[in-house]
């Protein structure tokens, strides 16, 4: 092997195992997705009204839109993190983003904001929780919009960063479930203040992880050798 071949070998990136990333994101989304499916069955199966579901039975369209949007956004979005699909199958990445991911993300965020603003507060929630849902819903819409603007300007790095932030907000329901369910099993049901804090922490935790991913991508891009012309 001559010096040129050695140099090219060193420059060739080694394949990395990337499928655990979407698998983990899908697992994170499973709890809210299954809860949404159960709610869908409840709405279509003539459920008896209770304090927990009366608002959905009285006005089912927003929650149905939210279930569909959040499910598609979380599951399809997970595969957008596979580098091979972004680079090797860029057409799939673009079509999935435009046809599925973006409309689903906007539907999930806007329907969630509508429910926070107009549905009666469920047991365990209050004004502060509704405000948090409005704030993070607006942040998700803004991130999606900035992601669209970035890709329209051929800013691939900015596009990836903003879409990662939007996805982090959109799948926070999974993180919230992971924090709330074990806590309820160990210490009993949460009251309104503690539930509000845990829900807010889950959103912030997801965003912190997203920022870590974005910074790691930036460092990797800075270290990656550019092709020799």
**Confidence bin at 7 (pLDDT 50/70/90):** very low
User: Is 193 domain-assigned?
Assistant: yes
pLDDT tens-place string over residues 36-67? 999 999 988 878 888 888 999 999 999 999 99
User: Is 7 domain-assigned?
Assistant: no
User: Is 153 domain-assigned?
Assistant: yes
* 3 state DSSP class of 139: helix
User: Is 13 domain-assigned?
Assistant: no
pLDDT tens-place string over residues 103-139? 999 999 999 999 999 999 988 899 999 999 999 999 9
User: Is 59 domain-assigned?
Assistant: yes
Q: Which domain range does residue 217 map to?
A: 19-223
Cβ contacts of residue 169 below 8 Å, gap of 6+? Answer: 109, 136, 137, 139, 140, 143, 203, 206, 207
User: Is 14 domain-assigned?
Assistant: no
- Number of domain units in the chain: 1
Rounded to whole angstroms, the Cα distance separating 117 from 188 reads 28
């Amino acid at each position: 092997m001559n010096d040129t071949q050695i140099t090219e070998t060193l420059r060739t990136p080694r394949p990395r195992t990337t499928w655990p990333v979407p698998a983990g994101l899908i697992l994170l989304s499973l709890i809210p997705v299954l809860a949404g499916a159960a709610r869908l069955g409840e709405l279509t199966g003539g459920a008896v009204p209770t304090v927990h579901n009366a608002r959905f039975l009285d006005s089912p369209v927003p929650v149905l839109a939210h279930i569909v949007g959040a499910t598609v956004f979380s599951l399809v979005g997970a595969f957008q993190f596979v580098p091979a699909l972004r680079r090797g199958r860029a057409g799939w990445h673009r079509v999935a983003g435009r046809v599925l991911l973006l409309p689903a993300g906007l539907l999930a965020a806007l329907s969630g904001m509508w429910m926070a603003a107009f549905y009666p507060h469920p047991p365990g929630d209050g004004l502060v929780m509704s405000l948090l849902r409005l704030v993070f819903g607006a942040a998700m819409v803004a991130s999606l919009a900035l992601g669209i603007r970035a890709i329209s300007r051929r800013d691939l790095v900015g596009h990836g960063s903003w879409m990662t932030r939007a996805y982090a907000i959109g799948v926070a329901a999974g993180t919230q479930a992971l924090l709330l369910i074990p806590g309820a099993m160990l210490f009993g049901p949460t009251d309104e203040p503690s539930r509000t804090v845990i829900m807010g922490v889950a959103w912030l935790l997801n965003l912190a992880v997203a920022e870590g991913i974005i910074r790691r991508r930036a460092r990797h891009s800075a270290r990656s050798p550019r092709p020799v012309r």
